[in-house]
Amino acid sequence: MATKTDAEKIKTILGDNLVTLAQYRTGDEMPLLAVCNSIDFDTLHKLKGIREIPLLLTREELLDGADVFPIEFLNIKQHHKILDGEDLLHDLVISKAHLRHQLEFEFRSKLLHIRGEYLRFKGKDLERLALAAVPVLAPIIGALLYLKDLPASSPGNMWGAVSDAYDVDTDVLREIYDIRRSNAKFKKDKEQYIRDIIKVLSDIGEIVDKFEVI
């Protein structure tokens, strides 16, 4: 996790080139975002010694990139804290059409990934596979709420909010999230967790595929 010292070092190194310095939540992490007027090789070279490497964007890349990475930029917009400079994220516009398209891609690709990983593990280390799925899914699940004009929820509450909004059972994701947070034990057979994760990914993928953006 980025520290106050990391942020101060970045501010010092970038100087007047820095437009915005923010911290945002993604899954279990709290990385930094540094938006600059320009980024050349010298800028990268100066930042090379930073312990916590920030997401580095120019002002134009941030404002124009929301159509390319709508899920990622929506997550930053909804879960950020400005540490220095302008809040460019406040008025960032996220297209629902582009968001729906990326959501379908993400759910389909995550479904293919977990199927392949399950076969590769051959029944072994399924606990790690199940635990790894939830932080990856958290920003994607949160974007589903935005698609229906629902307010952003805290990580602990968004599973239920999405379940209610889309009439899909997300209990397995909430349970794994709680296990990750509290180091609790798995209550069911590991195979069942993978089975349930595959089902919810498949179900939501079908829903998003048929979702009509207004």
Residues 48 and 133 in one domain: no
Sign of the alpha-carbon torsion through 143, 148, 151, 156: negative
pLDDT recorded at residue 123: 62
Least confident of 24-28, 41-45, 87-91, 183-187: 183-187
Whether the pLDDT of residue 1 is over 60: the answer is no
pLDDT recorded at residue 3: 67
Query: For residue 91, is it within any domain?
Result: no
Q: Tell me the sheet residues that pair with 36.
A: 18, 58
Residues 100 and 206 in one domain: yes
Q: What are phi and psi of 148, to 5 degrees?
A: -105, 20
Residues 105 and 195 in one domain: yes
Residues 62 and 157 in one domain: no
> Which pTM was predicted?
0.83
Residues 63 and 150 in one domain: no
Q: Between β-strands 18-24 and 55-58, what pairing exists: parallel, antiparallel or unpaired?
A: unpaired
**Structural domain count of the chain:** 2
Residues 102 and 74 in one domain: no
pLDDT recorded at residue 51: 87
For 196, left (φ over 0), alpha (ψ -120 to 50), or beta?
Answer: alpha
Could you report the per-residue pLDDT of 171-187, keeping only the tens digit for each?
999 999 888 888 678 88
What's the CA gap between 103 and 137, in Å, rounded? 11
pLDDT recorded at residue 77: 94
Residues 78 and 158 in one domain: no
Could you report the per-residue pLDDT of 139-160, keeping only the tens digit for each?
898 899 999 999 888 777 889 9
Could you report the per-residue pLDDT of 93-144, keeping only the tens digit for each?
999 999 999 999 999 999 999 999 999 876 678 888 998 888 888 889 889 9
Query: For residue 90, is it within any domain?
Result: no
Look at residues 169, 186, 168 and name the one whose alpha carbon lies nearest to residue 177.
186
Q: Which domain holds residue 14?
A: 4-85
200: helix, coil or strand?
helix
Angle between helix 190-210 and helix 96-121 axes, rounded to 10 deg = 150
What's the CA gap between 193 and 38, in Å, rounded? 46
Could you report the per-residue pLDDT of 47-88, keeping only the tens digit for each?
988 888 999 999 999 999 899 999 999 999 999 999 999 999
Could you report the per-residue pLDDT of 26-40, keeping only the tens digit for each?
877 899 999 999 999
Residues 21 and 75 in one domain: yes
